[in-house]
Amino acid sequence: MQIQEQQLQAYHVYVSGKVQGVYYRASTAKKAQSLGLSGWVKNLADGRVELFAQGPSEPLDKLITWCKKGPVLAKVSNLECELAQVDANMAHFVVMR
C-alpha cells in the first residue's frame, strides 16, 4: 500500500533539559528510523535539541511521545512541538552536526 502525501504529517520540535551529551540525537534518529520516519535532529548552541520529523501520523505521534522522555540518561524538561510543512524530498532520518 502506497502512502499518499496528504496522509503525511510533519512536526518541528524543540527539546529542552539535559538532552546534549546523553545520546539524545543518535537515539532519536534510531527511534525515528525504526518507525519509518524521515527528517533530521541536531543540537542547538543554547543546549536544546531541534528535530524535524515527518511520516504517517501514528508513528509520528509515537516518536513525539518517545521524545518527551528520550534515552535513559536524558532529563527532558520541556518539549515544544508544532506542525510543519511536509518536505517531499526528504527520504531518510539523519543526525546533523
- CATH no. for residue 72? 3.30.70.100
45 pLDDT tier (thresholds 50, 70, 90): very high
Residue type, 35: L
3-state DSSP assignment of residue 4: coil
Q: Strands 49-56 and 38-43: what pairing?
A: antiparallel
Q: What is the span of the domain harbouring residue 81?
A: 5-95
Domain count across the chain: 1
89 has catalytic annotation: no
**What is the model's pLDDT at position 46?**
98
Residue 92's identity, in one-letter code, is: H
The enclosing H or E element of 29 equals helix 24-34
1, pLDDT greater than 50: no
Say whether 43 is catalytic: yes
Q: Quick one: pLDDT at residue 6?
A: 52
pLDDT for 28 beyond 80: yes
The overall average pLDDT reported for the chain is: 94
- Is residue 69 helix, strand or coil? coil
Helices assigned H by DSSP within the chain = 24-34, 57-67
Residue spans of alpha helices (H) in 42-92: 57-67
Q: What is the pLDDT of residues 3-20, one digit of tens each?
A: 444 589 999 999 999 999
